[in-house]
Amino acid sequence: MGQFSGSEPLVGVIVGLRTFRVDESGLLLPLYSNLSWYDGPNTATCAPPTGERHGHAHAVPSPDCECGFYAYGSEAAANCNRHMRYVQAVVSCWGGVIAGTQGVRAEHARIDAIWLNPNVASWMHKRVAARYPSARMYADRQLMLAQHPPSALDCYEQAAPHRAAPRAGAAGLGAALLVLGVLPSTWLRQTALLWDAWLVATLAVSALVMWLLVGARAPGHRAAAFVTAGVLAWLLAPLFGPTGWLLRLPLLRGILVAAGGYLLTLRPGFFPVERSPKERAFCGVRA
């Protein structure tokens, strides 16, 4: 949350960038909420899953909470979000505004301009335009940014470029955990190095699961705890012999689902569209 908090509250209109999910009716939805944005001014409220109720009323946004409308402060910061490749919007933020190193959280926000990936179907483009008539639709993202430049604040830091080394390190660590979880227990016990590595990995993952569960403040923490618990079950599987494969099933299923979802995004003309529920309440809850 420090990327969108930490600086003094601001006065005036701050222009930023953000992304949305799009449903079949053309409504723009936050990435982590099913409450769509209005055309025109939106007012944020503090409510789960993106906000935390503390048992008392407080201003939105609050330095001690995650509530408010989020917006990136620069194109470089926005590009760190992979969903920006599909939908990018320019938003004006005002009222209570708290700035961080990568963007702001605001009490009020309005969508000024929208860019959709060229892969979007023409019918979807028309539906989004009809839902948000006060926002200008752009086919050229750079033209949109040139005509609606984000506000430059002194507290913004330049987004760090993506480096291959951390990703490779994470991939290597993940592969090592998977290997430790498929080795027979007799192999692990016969080699001191393997046994020590398995023991350290199991204790570390167990501690991470407990930390995520105890410190959970949002659904994202609980989801991370669930995934980490799957890794822990995978590591414990060798201790149960042939029946240990039952402990590996949850993580295997998750890997297959994630891989399948990623492969779908690679097909030509892909654009993610959310299924519309029968009824959807309009509300301005941040994501």
Rounded to whole angstroms, what are the CA distances from 281 to 36, 38, 265, 268?
7, 10, 29, 33
Burial of residue 33 (CB within 10 Å: 0-12, 13-18, 19+) is middle
Domain boundaries, the chain: 2-147, 164-265
**Which pTM value belongs to this model?**
0.73
How confident is residue 58, by pLDDT bands cut at 50, 70 and 90? confident
> Three-state DSSP class for 22?
strand
Q: What is the pLDDT of residues 118-164, one digit of tens each?
A: 999 999 999 999 999 999 999 999 999 999 999 988 888 876 666 66
